[in-house]
Amino acid sequence: MIGVDPKYQGRGFGKQLLLAGLSYLKKKGVHMIDLTVDSENSAAIALYKSVGFRHRTSTLWYKMSLI
């Protein structure tokens, strides 16, 4: 999981973190990466698409308050 403090978002730090992580994994011999992202997180989706990730499938999450 990666994240950038809201004060610093939009400056490319998230992309730098992501690319560093992908580079590390590639050097370790990883050939395929899956990730999960909230469908409402448009900034993250745009970031992942910008480096080549493609939508593969969707998962539904359910919750219920007992209060």
pLDDT of res. 61: 87
Binned at pLDDT 50, 70 and 90, residue 25 comes out as: very high
Does residue 22 lie in a domain region? Answer: yes
pLDDT of res. 18: 97
pLDDT of res. 20: 97
The owner of tokens 């590639």 is 26
Domain total in the chain = 1
Does residue 60 lie in a domain region? Answer: no
Its domain, for residue 35, covers 6-50
Does residue 45 lie in a domain region? Answer: yes
Tell me the pLDDT tens digit for each residue of 46-62.
999 999 999 999 988 89
Binned at pLDDT 50, 70 and 90, residue 32 comes out as: very high
